Structure 1
Amino acid sequence: MARRGRIPLSERVYRALQRDLAAGVLVPTERLGEERLAEIYGVSRTPVREALARLLADGLVERHPGGLYPYRPRLDELADLFELRILLESQGIHRARRLEPADEQGVSVEGGGTGGPSAPAAPSPSCAAPEPAAPPPTFSAGKPAAPPPSFAVREPAPPPPTLAVREPAPLPRRHDAAILDVELDIWRHLRSHPPAAGAELIAADERFHLRVLAASGNAALADALGTVHARVRPIRALDMPTPERIAAMTADHIAIAEQLLAGDLDHALRSLVAHITMSRDHVLARAEHALRLTKLARALRD
């Protein structure tokens, strides 16, 4: 049994393979043979086999007749992954929107229960139907008459309940403000000190979207988004954004964080979807261009 606090060997191999697949260290067209990988990472075949099984389940490795190979998305699959990303990240904002009170102000009956509909008010005493009169006394011969009935004065009915305006309920926490504040500070700093294109920028971009989604309170959504990032990352690693695109990305991240912190969920959702859509369109355009160049290169002779 592994000691407490130590990372199991299969987990370390899994993380190393995941990192190298994303960075393009492992050639996409070469088979992921257990013996070769065991030699590369200095381990036996067992942890390699366990790591490959997990990567296959994650969708980062795919099985072909000749064995396992790094996952390479087709154009339509790449578009599907961006669509899934939009659904996951939008759900974080929709989830926060459902936490808003449906009615921030309402009417309640003083002295009544909370939350339920008010009972109808009792009718006013002046409107109550009169009680039937007692029958007149009868007299029998030779017997003294019965005393006249006595009439008790009724106590006045309590006044009808008064209606009071309920104070607005406090808004529930929509997103974790501490997480958003940290990311906002990071991207404001990057706005003043623009980063270079490369792996660090991709990691910072992915971290922003993961943390924003995690701030909505659903860790499972963030985990699913992490898998999507891992499958798209090899394509993004080959796409070097221009300084103008980096500046646009930075501005979008700042705007999204500020809108979420202000509770402006509608604008935040529109900004988020537009931001991801622009990234999708650019990546797809670059991928299509690369495919055309590849076909052209195949048609040429040295």
Structure 2
Amino acid sequence: MYTSMSTDGHNVDIAAPGTGGSAADKVYYGLREDIRAGSVYPWDRMTEKTVAAHFGVSRTPVREAVGRLSAEGLLQRHPDGFGLVLPSAETISGLYEARVAIELQGIRRVAEGRGEYDRARLQRQQARWEQVVAEPPAAEPWLTAWDEEFHREILAASGEPALVDVLSHINDRIRALRMYGYIALEQLVSSARDHLKILEALLVGDYAAAQAALEEHIVSTRNDSLARALQGSGAAGFTRRAPSLVTPEPSHRTPTEFAPESNEEKNR
């Protein structure tokens, strides 16, 4: 049985009904959590109507919440609604460079004697990914949430909480692309084995090997996800975690949607 093991506080900030938040806050936090949990796929389209019905509110707070999430780079508008952001190739390159630098900093911190790893956190992740290798679940785009949790957890385990927040923001910008890496079983198992290789090196204190394995993993999964996205892979046959949130018919995105972003999007 696969369960969430996140302990870094990123899955507990939903403004639940009755806690004093406005309707717009309820939609904003709830939809952001749905996105981060992998409930919205790269080819999905949402509308004010579907989101309003999902959260039991009118369209006005939905409009406000979507505006906030768009300003933060999680969503973008389309003629047929709105969906996850697929960044331009240039933006993807820059975001992944930043991601590599941030994640390697956690390892360097411990390697340089400025902290120690929380071994319990690493071992919890090790148990999960050993299970994935031994009994692979069906490949599903929402499993990206597990991958994000893995990378947040190993960074948090190094004692870099501020960098975890920065990494989460980067994850929000590249989530749609990363989901393409979890639509094929072979890529899921390959990523799981990469994760175990990184964890094994960290647990024995071979930080040079861990840095090399981490960087190789991030670069290879980026390349695989980008290739699948450019091929137009995906769309049909996957489990829906929140089917009421999206329009009934998936909207296939094409490689042309990896076009240069507007100046507003680049400056987020």
- Normalising by the smaller structure, the TM-score range is 0.5 to 0.7
Is 2:228 the counterpart of 1:215?
no
Residue type matched to 2:88 in 1?
R
In 2, the alpha carbon distance for the partners of 1:211 and 1:247 equals 19
Moved more, 77-86 or 13-22: 13-22
Is 1:194–1:247's contact at 8 Å kept on the other side of the alignment?
A: yes
Is 2:89 the counterpart of 1:75?
yes
Is 2:25–2:65's contact at 8 Å kept on the other side of the alignment?
A: yes
Residue type matched to 1:201 in 2?
L
Which consecutive residues of structure 2, in runs of 5 or more, have no partner in the other structure? 1-14, 234-252, 257-268
In 2, the alpha carbon distance for the partners of 1:264 and 1:5 equals 49
> What is residue 147 of structure 1 aligned with on the other side?
none
> What is residue 96 of structure 1 aligned with on the other side?
110
In 2, the alpha carbon distance for the partners of 1:36 and 1:241 equals 25
Deviation at 1:27, TM superposition (A): 6.7
Query: Any idea what SS the aligned residue of 1:59 has?
Result: coil
Deviation at 1:195, TM superposition (A): 2.0
In 1, the alpha carbon distance for the partners of 2:84 and 2:142 equals 22
In 2, the alpha carbon distance for the partners of 1:40 and 1:25 equals 16
Query: Any idea what SS the aligned residue of 1:72 has?
Result: coil
Deviation at 1:44, TM superposition (A): 3.8
Deviation at 1:89, TM superposition (A): 0.9
> What is residue 124 of structure 1 aligned with on the other side?
none
> What is residue 59 of structure 1 aligned with on the other side?
73
Deviation at 1:177, TM superposition (A): 1.0
In 2, the alpha carbon distance for the partners of 1:54 and 1:90 equals 31
> What is residue 261 of structure 1 aligned with on the other side?
203
CA spacing shift, 1:215–1:10, aligned 2, 3 Å: farther
Is 2:28 the counterpart of 1:86?
no
Larger radius of gyration: 1
CA spacing shift, 1:44–1:288, aligned 2, 3 Å: closer
Which consecutive residues of structure 1, in runs of 5 or more, have no partner in the other structure? 101-171, 297-302
Moved more, 17-26 or 265-274: 17-26
Is 2:109–2:115's contact at 8 Å kept on the other side of the alignment?
A: no
CA deviation string 1:32-70 (max 9, x = no partner): 65x7744553224554354234313421134799x9875
Is 2:84–2:176's contact at 8 Å kept on the other side of the alignment?
A: no
CA spacing shift, 1:41–1:62, aligned 2, 3 Å: same
CA spacing shift, 1:237–1:249, aligned 2, 3 Å: closer
Residue type matched to 2:95 in 1?
L
Is 2:261 the counterpart of 1:248?
no
CA spacing shift, 1:87–1:43, aligned 2, 3 Å: same
Moved more, 206-215 or 185-194: 185-194
User: Of 216, 222, 226, which aligns to 1:284?
Assistant: 226
Deviation at 1:208, TM superposition (A): 0.8
Query: Any idea what SS the aligned residue of 2:231 has?
Result: helix
CA deviation string 1:73-131 (max 9, x = no partner): 12222232222221221121122233x2xxxxxxxxxxxxxxxxxxxxxxxxxxxxxxx
In 2, the alpha carbon distance for the partners of 1:64 and 1:241 equals 24
User: Of 189, 212, 220, which aligns to 2:131?
Assistant: 189
Percent identical pairs in the alignment equals: 36
Is 2:19 the counterpart of 1:6?
yes
> What is residue 143 of structure 1 aligned with on the other side?
none
- TM superposition score normalised by structure 2: 0.67
Is 1:75–1:287's contact at 8 Å kept on the other side of the alignment?
A: no
Residue type matched to 1:58 in 2?
E
Residue type matched to 2:27 in 1?
V
> What is residue 177 of structure 1 aligned with on the other side?
119
Count of residue pairs the alignment pairs up = 220
In 2, the alpha carbon distance for the partners of 1:294 and 1:64 equals 13
What is the RMSD computed on CA atoms of the aligned residues? Answer: 3.7
User: Of 215, 221, 231, which aligns to 2:173?
Assistant: 231
CA deviation string 1:222-260 (max 9, x = no partner): 122222222222233345444332222122111111211
Is 2:216 the counterpart of 1:270?
no
Structure having the higher helix fraction is 2
Is 1:176–1:215's contact at 8 Å kept on the other side of the alignment?
A: yes
Is 1:59–1:71's contact at 8 Å kept on the other side of the alignment?
A: yes
In 2, the alpha carbon distance for the partners of 1:210 and 1:17 equals 20
